[in-house]
Each structure stands twice: as C-alpha cells, then as structure tokens.
Amino acid sequence: MNASFTGLHVSLRAHLLACPHQLVGLIPYFRLLGLLTLTLILTACQPAQESPLRIASNTWPGYEPLYLARNLGHFDNTQVNLVEMTSASEVIHALRNHTIEGAALTLDEVLTVMEDGYDLKVILVMDFSNGGDVLLSKPDISSLAELKGKNIAVEYTAVGAILLNGALQAANLSAEDVNIIACSFDEHQFCYLHADAVVTFEPNRTSILALGANQLFDSSQIPGRIIDVLAVHTKTLESHPRALNQLISGYFKAIDYFNQQPLAAAELMKDRMRLTPSAILASYEGLHLPSLAENIDLLRGESSKLEEIATDLSSFMRQRKLLSHEVSVKAIGTDQFTLKVSP
C-alpha cells in the first residue's frame, strides 16, 4: 500500500472519530476504500511475470529432444525460447555474455566456462556419448598410426581436444606429431576436404562418411568422458522457476514420444538435422539418453554422481592442460526440476 493511500486512510479515520454523525454520508467512500484495498491486495498476490527463458544449443542428436518438444507444442504459451546456434563456441560466447540464460553443452565445456568465474548449475543430463563423437580420415588413411605428420581439423573446444587426445594416445602419438587445424562445427565437411582427418559428430559424421571417409576412433573408446548437459546461470533457478519446470517437463515428454514413436519423431527432426529419418535413428546408436529416473539419480544430493563425474573430468582436463586451474564442482547439479516431473 503506497504512502498517499495510507495517508488518506488515516485522515478519514481521524475525521470520523471527531464527527461520527457524518458516518452515513460517507458509506459510498467506504465502499470505494474497500474496493481499492482489495485491488491492491490482489495485485500484490499475483506472481511476477517471468521474462523469456533463452536456452541455446548447436545441432547435435543429444540436444534434439528439446526441439522435438517444441515441435510437439510442449513449449507453446510458455516463456521457453530455444535459440539455435551454429557451433558450441558460439553458444559458450553467448553464455559468457549473459545473452542467454542457459545452454546445452558438454560437461567439459561447462567446466571451461566455470573456470572463468561464471556460476552455473546443471539441471539435466542429456546424453552420454558412446560412439557419437568420432575421428574420420581420408580413404587412404586406414590406421591411427598413419596420422603422424598429417593435418587434423578439430573444433577449438574441450570436447574436440578430449577425443583427439584419446585417439592420439591410442596411436602412441602426441599433439606434436600432427598438425592441428582449428575448425568450427559448421565447417567440418569443408575442413575434411582440405585436411587429412577431422574430429566431428552427427549430423556431419553421416555426411562425411558418405564421402568415403574412414572412421578411426570414436567416443566409445574413452567411456564417460564426453557427457552432454543442460546448464543455466545459477541465478536463473530463482528468476525463471516456472519456465525451467516447463522446459524439463517438455523435454521428458519428447523423450517418451521418441521412445514410443521413433519413426514419427525422426520425421519431425529431419529438417533441422538435415538427415533422413533412418540416418537420424542410426545416429542415436552412439548415444545413451538418461531417463528421468537416471537423471534424478545422477543429480541427487550434495555429493551427486554428476559431481563425481565432474571431479574426474576436471582432473583429466587439468592433466591435459585443458583447464589452467582447479574448478570447484561441489553441488554442480540440482534435481529440483527433475523431481517435479511426473513419471
């Protein structure tokens, strides 16, 4: 109640105590006063309107259930706004600049952002790469050992470095034994044509294999190191609770739809992913999409399983100089939104 309204109320009360005979004539004013009071109370009780919740991602099968949920109408009449970007580097840049509230990223990419002092919280584990990330070579290169002295194109992100590092270790090579060329995701096919090998993932994997490439290495050979998550700025947990609930709920509805009607889901995905429905379904063979129950298990508690994974990953990244200093991963995830989803 503002000061002027309070002053009117006090003055009116004092006048009535002094002149009680005027009470009847003032009944209309009491009615007006009651109406104004009720209006103020109702206005104060209404929840504040949330601003749009902007969630960004690049193209990757593990992120696609978000867009499937949008196509199915689960984000209609909500503040959920999916922002499509061309590469993980672009997504990270937007997250750092606070032009988005959250992003779908690999866990190692989340750690690189947190390393610079950004406060992020993981609210969803989207997938574990189990063959979805690959190293592809020109047809005349048939083994990892033959990469020595060759040009390898890779996106300048931690996930690319992790996969390439695993491949080089498997071949008993080091980064000094090859020529590394920076290449963003949207240029992977172009880079493959002008290099000897490329580190990539779907949908580029399928397109490059169609050019005759050999697959020399994939993420199934470094299990547990490449994990995709949905992370948001921690302050978003309080500023956008309703939209975050709708986002997570819609995501799992899309997962259910995909599991029950995979062909129909692939039809809805094909335009964005630029793959045939059969190729889309094949791309998921290299991924594990954790269920709602698995997510709750991964995110539960102060010392969650996700925190254990992040601790191991952080240690690995520091050893490989992918992180310059220790990053605190204590309570990196929260299950407050997955717990609200109806099974």
DSSP letters, 187-205, are GHHHHHHHSSEEEEETTHH
Averaged pLDDT, 137-158: 93
Asked if residue 219 has pLDDT above 60, the reply is yes
The pLDDT > 90 percentage for the chain reads 70
Give mean pLDDT, residues 249-261: 98
CA distance 263 to 161: 34
Report, as an integer, the average pLDDT of 113-126.
97
Domain residue ranges in the chain: 3-45, 53-129+225-340, 133-221
First to last CA, the chain: 43
Residue 165 one-letter amino acid? N
Instruction: Look up residue 199 and give its two tokens.
Output: 């580190």
- The conformation of residue 223, written as its DSSP 8-state character, comes to T
Tens of pLDDT, residues 257-287: 999 999 999 999 999 998 899 999 998 998 9
Q: Which residues contact 261 (CB under 8 A, 6 or more apart)?
A: none
- For residue 33, is pLDDT > 50? yes
Classify domain 133-221 by CATH number: 3.40.190.10
> Which residue in 192, 197, 190, 188 sits closest to 217, CA to CA?
197
35 pLDDT band, cuts 50/70/90, is low
Domains 53-129+225-340 and 133-221 share a fold: yes
What's the full length of the chain, in residues?
343
pLDDT mean over 54-75: 96
Q: Which two tokens stand for residue 146?
A: 């033959």
Q: Note whether 197 and 135 are within 8 A (CB).
A: yes
The domain over range 53-129+225-340 is classified in CATH as 3.40.50.2020: no
How much is the pLDDT for 48? 63
Which stretch, 96-100, 152-156, 302-306, has highest mean pLDDT? 96-100
In whole angstroms, give the CA distance from residue 10 to residue 126. 59
- pTM of the predicted protein model: 0.77
3-state class (DSSP) for residue 109 = helix
Lowest average pLDDT, out of 15-19, 79-83, 234-238, goes to 15-19
Token pair 């191991």 is found at 312
Beta bridge partners of 231: 103, 122
